[in-house]
Structure 1
Amino acid sequence: MPNPSGTPLSRFGRRVADLLPLPTRTPVSQTASDVGTTDSRDVPVVDIITPTIRTMVIAVPDEVPSDALACGHLDRHLAVTGRLTPRFWATPALHRWQHRRMFGLRQGRPTYCAGGPVRLLDLAGMRHSAAVSAGLRHQRWHHITRGTRAATPWPQFLHRHHTDPHRYPLHVARADFERQPRVLAMRMHNAVSPPAGQLDIDELEVLQTSAHAYRQYRAASAVTADAVLTDDGTSIAPNSDTFADRVTYLHRAVDYLDSLHGTQRLLAINL
């Protein structure tokens, strides 16, 4: 990664890139609400907004053959449509004869892959690297937004738009959200920074919470992605994009992943 302040030191003795590059997401890709106020009491909450889910972690059932998944036959065996994505790190102690047990294994250190047995994945290393990187990113965000007032997060504008889309159209909600001084400071930074040094405006709510919360959020998200499909077909996903719903999801997803046996296969896909 070209920005040294955004890359953590790892167990490999040199700087490595983030687990995944921060997504270049438009913070208003769904639909919004008619407020220029930062008082959340003015924003009615309606339960009709689906969360943003781009990447899913799947606990592969024992009866599904690895060869079929490696060939991309996800819809036939897992009833999901997507493509393998190299989200995980393989354990540094991976032997050559274990390569065939991994999905989409790549070269390099850390060794990226789309999945494999839990015991052959470096989930602890992923969490640590994400937390270190998040701490550096939060310091940069704090410096960039110093002196600005706390901003109303995008989901509140989105809720208000859904409540009355005719009186409060999406483009008005987008403008109201983006003209807030704190959001403007982040957008200005992104406008003059390379992709590796940009801030994800969708993370505004958690960034405003605390540096510790942001580190924990990024560490948990590194291994859980946006949703988890369990080995019995149960879907674990947030109810919305609000930080509160994301925290609830992360709690459930981390508990589930931590409970898995070392032989359980995990697979990461982009939907």
Structure 2
Amino acid sequence: MSTNNGTPLTRHGSRVRHRTAQTPPPKADPRPVVVPQAVIRQMIVCVSDELAAVLHHTRSLDRHLGVSGTGCRRIWVSPTLRPWQRRQLIDWQRAKTGPQCCAGGPVRLLDLTGMGQAAHIGAVLRHQQWSHVVAGTQPATPWALFLQRHLTDPSDYPIDTATAAFHRQPRVQAMRMHNAAAHGSGHLDPTDLEIFQAGASAYANYHALWASCTDALLTEGGHRLHPASAFFADRITYLQQAHHHLQSLDRHQLVFAIDLQTP
């Protein structure tokens, strides 16, 4: 029995409903996504009172601090420093021009604020230059995403393929072409693309905080702060934590800058 339009009916007069075959859900990719880790080249160490005297006489950082590296003379000295206070600094050396620098010392004898302000000004000018260089190009995919795809599936997506795909983007090409013709401080790091694209204010504030916090921070209690990944969002989280910790330090706390040894 059927209706005029051909739909079959049951003996009770109701239409027969056919079940349509449902497409099974796609299988989940068994490969776990590998998150690219942040590159840690420099670290700020908040030295405990027990190690403060040791660092003035030895550079065995691996033994005393648990990190492999060397002291880095990058921290600005307070412009009001008195001659007799120099002995409290680590690796202080008189500079002919510009700010006096050292590898570390008590917070009260350092100019962390001046470092941040100078870095902010330099970053503002650099972002203006970047905006001019990439004008007319579309926003590009940051390097961390290409690296993540490579780390997740290195056999199907080799590092050479990831690098070539990143470099083929017009915005990255504009930065690389600028670097090929630029000299010295005019270099624009393509790996900072994600930070550049966040805007002038974000880029300047990032470098202002990085000047004193660097890539990682070791607290006086031995707790290590560092970005959870290479993505900009995790760098922001780290800088918030590290800057807050530095601001909370006692004025007599000794901090020490280290260039880490890469494996």
Distance 1:170 1:69 in 2: 43
Alpha-carbon deviation of 1:70?
A: 4.6
Which of 85, 89, 94 does residue 107 from structure 1 map onto? 94
Q: CA RMSD in A?
A: 1.4
Which whole-Å deviations, capped at 9, do the CAs of 1:53-72 have from their partners, x for residues lacking one? Answer: 00000000111143435531
Q: Is the CA contact 1:49–1:159 (under 8 Å) kept in the aligned structure 2?
A: yes
8 Å contact kept, 2:124–2:203: yes
1:43-100 C-alpha deviation (Å, 9 max, x unpaired): x983443210000000001111434355312122111111001121000001110101
- Counterpart code for 1:91: S
Residue equivalent to 1:237: 226
Q: Deviations over 1:80-137 (max 9, x none)?
A: 1110011210000011101010011121230011110001110110010000000000
Following superposition, the deviation at residue 179 of structure 1 comes to: 1.0
1:84 to 71, 83, 86: 71
Query: CA 1:204/1:45 → structure 2, altered by over 3 Å: closer, same or farther?
Result: farther
For 1:164 and 1:77, locate their aligned partners in 2 and report how far apart those are by CA, in whole Å: 39
Distance in 2, Cα, partners of 1:115 & 1:154: 33
Check if 1:179 corresponds to 2:168.
yes
Contact (CA 8 Å) 2:45, 2:257: kept in 1 or not? yes
Task: Mark the runs of 5 or more structure 2 residues left unpaired by the alignment.
Answer: 1-30
Shift of 1:200: 1.4
SS at match of 1:86: coil
Based on CA coordinates, which of the two structures has the bigger radius of gyration? 2
- 2:36 matched to 1:49? yes
Aligned residue number for residue 235 of structure 2: 246
SS at 1:249's partner residue? Answer: helix
Q: Does 1:133 align with 2:122?
A: yes
Between the aligned partners of 1:181 and 1:53, the Cα distance in structure 2 is 28
Indicate the percent of aligned positions where both proteins have the same amino acid.
47
Please list the CA deviations of residues 213-243 of structure 1 after superposition, one character each: whole Å capped at 9, or x if unmatched. 0010000000000000000000000011110
Provide the secondary structure at the position in 1 that maps to 2:217: strand
TM-score, normalised via structure 1 length: 0.81
TM-score, L = length of structure 2: 0.84
Q: Which residue of 2 aligns with 1:153?
A: 142
- SS of 2:50's equivalent? coil
2:200 counterpart residue number: 211
1:3-48, Cα deviation, whole Å (9 max, x unpaired): xxxxxxxxxxxxxxxxxxxxxxxxxxxxxxxxxxxxxxxxx98344
Q: 8 Å contact 1:45–1:160 — kept in the other structure? A: no
Q: Distance in 2 between matches of 1:228 and 1:69?
A: 20
Return the alpha-carbon distance in structure 2 between the equivalents of residues 49 and 66 of structure 1. 38
Q: Check conservation: 1:116, 1:267, Cα contact below 8 A.
A: yes
Corresponding residue of 2:19: none
1:130 alignment partner, SS class: helix
Q: Deviations over 1:236-255 (max 9, x none)?
A: 00011110010000000000
Aligned to 1:29: none
SS in 2 for 1:173: helix
Distance 1:45 1:267 in 2: 38
1:171-198 residue CA offsets vs partner (Å, 9 max, x unmatched): 0000000110000000000001112211
